[in-house]
Amino acid sequence: MTETPDEPLSPTGRLFMQPSSDEVINCIVAGENPIALDTLKSEISNSLMLKHPRFCSLMLRDRRGREHWRRTAVDVDRHLVVLRARLSGADDDEAVSAYVAGLASSSPLAADKPLWEIHVLAAHNAVVFRVHHALGDGVSLLSLLLTHCRRADDPARLPTVGGSRASAASTLLTRQRWGFWEIVKLLWFTFFYVVEFVLRVAWLSDRRTVVSGGSGVELWPRRLATARFRLADMKIVKRAVTDSTINDVLFGIISSGLSRYLDMRESQALRNGIQITGIAMVNLRPHTGLQELSQLMSGDPGSRWGNKFGVILLPVYYHGSEADPLEFVKRSKAMIDKKKLSLEAPFSYKLMDSIISLLGPKLASMLKYRLLCNTTFTVSNVVGPQEEITLAGNPVKYIRPTSSSLPHAITMHMMSYAGIADLQILVAKDVIPDPRVLANCFQDALLELKAAAEAALKS
């Protein structure tokens, strides 16, 4: 039998193996019924996941410190962590959130086996999938996770994921025809945002507020809360602001919700317009979705599996009061529209890729850490299944991803599922001791936006 040769990590994979960039994606899948452990184990053993080389490989370093993947036999039992006792918490959701918050700050994955685990919280009907970020980005890993699932209304079919559209960044890169003013705008906005990005990495920092993190904050204990939004409510707001998107509405909610929270927590009055900068990950693949999974897993040179995303800066602004709450969405839309006309995301991807290849992952990790310390929060938005699904025959109540702790005091990951969008809010509890209050600020912001949108649509 021919032995499979070791495969080097991609530049981004090497970045995620550095101590200051070591990151694990934790995804909660809650079931309606008790977890059938044997059925779940059988599903995993026969899944596409165990056919993927990344999930069947150890990460090893050679004498020069270069990282490599080496194929190994997988013992599924070593990757299953089963907890049968009830965890402390007022209800199942609170208990599971507290458990995952603990994992986020203090539980790295063991290096003597492939870098993934599945925690079964039997008493709470929940499963936590843990995958190291070096194995792939959120889009790739979500696609792989959902191959374990089936539609509740048709068990023979895979879930329908609504994220098959091209991203704005990849559309810019593949557009065939350009107008003169489009080229001018592309060059101007790219120059402006690239300069801003470089300054953020170098020294430019947000003003300190009660939600600011900083160096060392990634080591602090965490709490986790969830803000729940109805997609129907977000779409009402979307219709009221011409040509807006769900992402525009989300950032309007974040801007309004953070302003509400700062009003409650800040001891001194803040000046309207103070910038609070977020970091968002932008998918750079032309397409996403389960229909692409066979290509993602093919292993050929054109395969897009792995980490292929750029980083953009997304500023939101404090406003103590607004006569028209929709102004939060309108400002967010204006900002995001300009970002879509730039190559900031591809630039950040190529910059980090080049630094890792030419100067090594340690320098790239240091620069990434500085960028996090100079900004205030991380946010992502992933489109999940459109219909209700099952995992190992168990109807799924919700799917909620989050990640390891970062120097940010706030990390937010939103994922939609069957008409509901859950925003997971991971906070450093010594900075934000009341994440449930912050979640309520976001939920109240959407309700206020919805009321303003309904009034605007009637007028």
Whether 335 and 314 have beta carbons less than 8 Å apart is answered as: yes
∠ Cα 92 381 208 (to 5°): 90
Please state, in angstroms and rounded to a whole number, the distance separating the CA atoms of residues 248 and 388: 26
DSSP state letters, 289-343: SGGGHHHHTS-STT---S--EEEEEEEEE--S--SSTHHHHHHHHHHHHHHHTS-
CA distances (Å), 244 to each of 330, 332, 445, 459, in order? 8, 9, 17, 19
- Using CB atoms within 10 Å of the CB of residue 76, give its burial: 0 to 12 exposed, 13 to 18 middle, 19+ buried: middle
Please state, in angstroms and rounded to a whole number, the distance separating the CA atoms of residues 364 and 157: 42
Please state, in angstroms and rounded to a whole number, the distance separating the CA atoms of residues 151 and 243: 32
How many Å is the maximal CA-CA distance in the chain? Answer: 74
Query: Is 133 in the active site?
Result: yes
Whether 126 and 92 have beta carbons less than 8 Å apart is answered as: yes
Please state, in angstroms and rounded to a whole number, the distance separating the CA atoms of residues 436 and 425: 9
For 244, the token pair is: 């807006």
Our measurement of the distance from residue 118's CA atom to the centroid of its chain's CA atoms, rounded to an integer in Å, reads 19
* The one catalytic residue among 133, 148, 319, 413: 133
Pick from 313, 243, 309, 251: nearest CA to 282: 309
Whether 127 and 391 have beta carbons less than 8 Å apart is answered as: yes
For 207, the token pair is: 């003003």
Please state, in angstroms and rounded to a whole number, the distance separating the CA atoms of residues 395 and 412: 25
**247 phi/psi in degrees, rounded to 5:** -65, -40
Please state, in angstroms and rounded to a whole number, the distance separating the CA atoms of residues 46 and 256: 46
Active-site positions? 133
